[in-house]
Amino acid sequence: MKILIVGAGALGGYFGGRLIAAGKDVTFLVRPRRREQLQRTGLIVQSRFGDLQLPPPPMVLSQEIDQTYDLILVACKAFDLESTMDAFAPAVGAQTLVLPFLNGMRHIRVLTDRFGGQAILGGQCVISASLDEDGWIIHHNDVHLITFGCLREGSTDRARALAASLSEANFDFVASDNILQEMWEKWIFIASAASLTTLMRATVGDIVQAGGTEFAGRLYAEAVSVGRAHGFEPRKAMNERFLGILTAAGSPFTASMLRDIERGHRTEAEQIAGELVRSTPELDGRLPLLELAVVGLRAYEAKRHRLQSL
């Protein structure tokens, strides 16, 4: 199986490095700066599951793609999806599977419109990793999980081949029969977590200390109502887990979106919180806390853009 990984950042580089270490045929689609960096240092991963120090991996720029691939892993930011699709489009053939790990759900529709429904798998990953100043990949937590599944009939055999390939790499994976449910559950949670911690500019523990437990529960309930309207209400065990995370006393947890704001970076506000609110017109006016969070995030982006224009 020939695999193209779009990007060699924290997420793509981590899972791609694990696949290379397992002997898989992996190529990274990169930008010139990242290629130069990897040519100097190789692909370096620091993780409690074992460090990697690999020689410079196979890499290609978008204009250099001269073949198609069996599998394309896409892990860009959701706001970069359109330009990213243009970059990897020459690598998509009649039998290519595209496995995206983007937040929200809009990307499934956009990818399907571009490449056809038979090509697109549903997927998500759970990992906390980042690039340091030298381009090393630092794995911060004790989870490295990929979940994927077929969205339509017709790609089952190829999905099984993917599962067989992933099983030999040093990370966890689940071939799901209910991937849309799991993607919706993740979306509901990350939209709630991002809305809560960016609105308050605080950790969950700080919000609870300030008397915000009920507030967190009400905000989460709004997000759940959106999933319910689309037929994807979180399952009982997931509800309990998510509420536990969002209301844990003393917890240092914050959404990654808050960390983006603290660093002055662009956020996925529209693709995560904004799209959740927009997805259900029948709930207009009935999601006041989510709507407030979205306005706050848009105000941050407006200010960031204004300051960059000075």
CA distance 117 to 39: 36
Neighbouring residues of 158: CB distance < 8 A, sequence distance ≥ 6 = 70, 95, 97
HEC assignment per residue over 4-44: EEECCCHHHHHHHHHHHHCCCEEEEECCHHHHHHHHHHCEE
Catalytic status, residue 186: yes
Tell me the chain's radius of gyration from C-alpha atoms.
20
Order of strands across the sheet that contains 145-150: 121-126, 145-150, 172-175
Q: Which among 24, 77, 186, 236 is annotated as catalytic?
A: 186
Residue with tokens 């919180």: 273
Annotate 108-167 with DSSP letters as a single string: HHHHHHHH-GGGBEEEEEE--EEE-TTS-EEE-SS--EEEEEESSTT-HHHHHHHHHHHT
Cβ atoms of 103 and 260 within 8 Å: the answer is no
CA distance 29 to 60: 5
CA distance 234 to 241: 10
Q: Which amino acid is at 42?
A: G
Which residues are known catalytic residues? 186
